[in-house]
């Protein structure tokens, strides 16, 4: 009897190991695997981007034995840290935060602590550092922000880092020269329309739900140009920044601006960990790139995407699962 029980226990252990192994390979040989994509606020582009990716993969859930879910988060810094801790399998991360995290850059959230297991998957849409102000505030340039109530973004968000960068480049101390707020992006439009803030920064692809909301209220608002020597110096010093144009006329007709507005920006990138299986990463990359035209139709911010451009802006090593697909597709 003891021998029979020993055999049963041994078989159970073997079965458990096999099941765990199957899940570790994206469920290719057994039980279904699960992956979560960390995004951002629900009014930005990150959240629908995560939703679009999960929708495409989940349409073939049975084929991949993989189910993808989406989580609204605090943004880039949160996503990197959650990926590294194993709380998320994927996260959408600004290209500047990807660079800083992998390299442990000075004056970043990871100073002296390089996130060596961070891996790039692909880049997505360009994002502009966008500054919106109430017309009554009189803010028409970044120098007009002094003494105003300005939301620079919640701690751990990409837009907060970008706002700090441009303010400091312009010689403005965010803590001394402004009445700085640290709100979530999803709160900003309502706070601006209620007159509780004068302006807010948001790094996002356009069109954005936040700015559609903010420009649709009774209070007149203005997109503030971000240009000049401060931007020139910032772009020159940081390879992940580039000058950009905010398409105001096409997307926000209720803004007081009569033309599109210059700014600078980064790219949104999908990141993961070296610990995530090749099979899971390969499945996600394959579904997006094999169905790129369908993916582009899911949000106006993706309209300009080209497959070859989605391998730019990546400063962490490419995950082997992504590398496998790109080699097969002739993109590398």
pLDDT in tens, 149-174: 999 999 878 889 999 999 999 999 99
Q: What is the pLDDT of residue 303?
A: 84
- 324 to 21, 91, 121, 152: CA distances (angstroms): 21, 20, 11, 39
Specify the pLDDT at position 30. 55
- The pTM of this model reads 0.75
Give the per-residue pLDDT at 87: 98
Instruction: Give residue 239's pLDDT.
Output: 79
- DSSP H helices in the chain: 2-24, 46-58, 61-64, 76-85, 95-103, 158-169, 185-193, 209-215, 229-237, 248-251, 278-290, 292-296, 320-328
Structural contact between residues 164 and 174, judged by C-beta atoms closer than 8 angstroms? yes
- Expressed in angstroms, the distance from the first to the final Cα of the chain is 60
**Of the candidates 75, 24, 91, 166, which has an alpha carbon nearest to the alpha carbon of residue 316?**
91
Q: Indicate the domain borders of the chain.
A: 2-125+268-328, 127-265
Residue with tokens 């994002």: 127
Q: How far apart are CA 312 and CA 292, in angstroms?
A: 16
Q: Which residue stretches of the chain have pLDDT < 50?
A: 1-29
Domain spanning 2-125+268-328 has what CATH number?
Answer: 3.40.190.10
The pLDDT tens digits for 190-220 are 999 999 999 999 998 898 999 999 999 999 9
Output the CATH code of domain 127-265: 3.40.190.10
């Amino acid at each position: 009897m003891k021998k029979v029980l020993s055999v049963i226990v041994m078989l159970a252990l073997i079965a458990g190991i096999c099941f765990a192994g199957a899940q570790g390979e994206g469920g290719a040989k057994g039980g279904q695997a699960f992956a979560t994509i960390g995004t951002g606020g629900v009014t930005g582009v990150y959240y629908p981007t995560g939703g679009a990716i999960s929708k495409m993969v989940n349409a073939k859930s049975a084929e991949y034995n993989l189910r993808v879910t989406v989580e609204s988060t605090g943004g880039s810094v949160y996503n990197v840290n959650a990926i590294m801790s194993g709380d998320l399998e994927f996260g959408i991360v600004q290209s500047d935060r990807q660079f800083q995290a992998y390299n442990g850059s000075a004056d970043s959230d990871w100073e002296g602590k390089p996130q060596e297991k961070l891996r790039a998957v692909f880049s997505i849409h360009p994002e502009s550092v966008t500054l919106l102000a109430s017309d009554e505030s009189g803010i028409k340039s970044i120098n007009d922000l002094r003494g105003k109530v300005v939301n620079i973004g919640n701690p751990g968000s990409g837009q907060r880092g970008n706002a700090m960068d441009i303010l400091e480049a312009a010689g403005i101390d965010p803590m001394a020269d402004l009445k700085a707020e640290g709100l979530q992006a999803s709160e900003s439009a309502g706070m601006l329309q209620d007159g509780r803030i004068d302006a807010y920064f948001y790094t996002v692809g356009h069109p954005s739900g936040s700015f559609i909301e903010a420009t649709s209220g009774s209070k007149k608002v203005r997109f503030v140009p971000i240009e000049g020597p401060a931007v020139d110096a910032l772009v020159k010093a940081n390879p992940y920044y580039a000058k950009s144009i905010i398409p105001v006329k096409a997307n926000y007709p209720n803004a007081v601006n009569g033309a599109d507005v210059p700014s600078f920006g980064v790219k949104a990138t999908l990141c993961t960990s070296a610990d995530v299986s090749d099979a899971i990463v390969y499945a996600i990359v394959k579904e997006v790139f094999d169905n790129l035209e369908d993916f582009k139709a899911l949000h106006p911010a993706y309209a300009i995407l080209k497959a070859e451009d989605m391998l730019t802006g990546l400063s962490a090593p490419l995950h082997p699962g992504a590398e496998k697909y790109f080699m097969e597709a002739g993109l590398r």
